[in-house]
Chains A and B, each alone.
Chain A
């Protein structure tokens, strides 16, 4: 059983730069064809100050953490046993190339189903930009397959 006393745990916050090249690479990886995600002129014509980060890119910022998936070490979870259960984003302000985003993450819940065969870790994430504007809130659920 995962350590329920870690509910409420706050991971050390970190900051990540939203790099133009990374956004273009991400756009390529998801097959994006809308030029506002790869062409700065098109982005500006569409009203963005720089290339916008697409809707799921905030989850990429989580991976900029100094330790890869720090929840695994905290709760002693084997990376081979995890699945992504759910993901939710609430958008408050855009994220664009050149931004520096602070990522705050806490564990909001840990629970199990099927007599402990599946355990769930719910994490809440806040993404705040260099002007101290909260841009995005996210909730992610990690599923741990036991046995």
Chain B
């Protein structure tokens, strides 16, 4: 489709500051009860400044950006590495752009470079997605 080309920007999504409430909700909803995300005493004993966000919370944010842009049914692959820890009060913005249009198994796919980043620009998640277009 002509509306998706190399260089097309995925509409970015900016999230509210990460709070302890955000992390408590995500721990409950995701089943990831690792105390390092919800128990400050535990996190400090582990050598961390405080509790910090689940990597998968930010990946879910990236997923929201992708499915806001194109329907989930067109998502073929979605991957990222976790490049930096997301701390309390960080404001995360997800963004991405189409890097390449490829043909695979009879489908036209947009290979998108995607990232989550803090307000100071530090990347927290870096990855890519393949989306049928």
Q: How large is the interface on A (under 10, 10 to 19, 20 to 34, 35 or more residues)?
A: 35 or more
Contact of A55 among B31, B45, B66 (CB under 8 A): B66
Assess the B66–A86 pair: CB atoms within 8 A.
Answer: no
Q: A89-B79, A90-B77 are in contact. Are A80 and B60 (CB under 8 A)?
A: no
Tell whether A29 pairs with B28 under 8 Å between CB atoms, given A85-B82, A89-B78.
Answer: yes
B29 / chain A contacts, CB cutoff of 8 Å: 22, 25-26, 28-30, 60
**B22 proximity list for chain A (CB < 8 A):** 29
Q: Say yes or no for B67: interface residue by CB 8 A criterion.
A: yes
Main DSSP-derived SS at the B contact region = helix
Which of chain A's residues have a CB closer than 8 A to the CB of B66? 55
Please tell me the number of chain B residues within 8 Å of chain A, measured between CB atoms.
41
Interface pair A91/B77, CB less than 8 Å apart = yes
- Residues B59 and A87 in contact, CB atoms below 8 Å apart: yes
In the complex, identify which listed stretch (B1-9, B32-40, B96-104) lies at the interface while the others stay far away. Answer: B32-40
* Contact between chains at B15 and A31 (CB < 8 Å): yes
List 17 A–B pairs whose Cβ atoms lie within 8 Å, in order of A's numbering.
Answer: A25-B28, A26-B29, A31-B15, A54-B60, A56-B59, A59-B56, A63-B31, A80-B45, A85-B82, A87-B59, A87-B79, A87-B82, A89-B78, A91-B75, A91-B77, A139-B79, A141-B81
Residues in B lying within 8 Å of A, measured CB to CB = 15-16, 22, 25-26, 28-36, 42, 45-46, 54-57, 59-61, 63-64, 66-68, 71-73, 75-82, 85
Known: A31-B15, A60-B30, A86-B81. 11 other contacts (CB 8 A): A25-B28, A25-B29, A29-B28, A30-B29, A30-B64, A32-B64, A47-B73, A63-B31, A84-B82, A87-B59, A94-B73
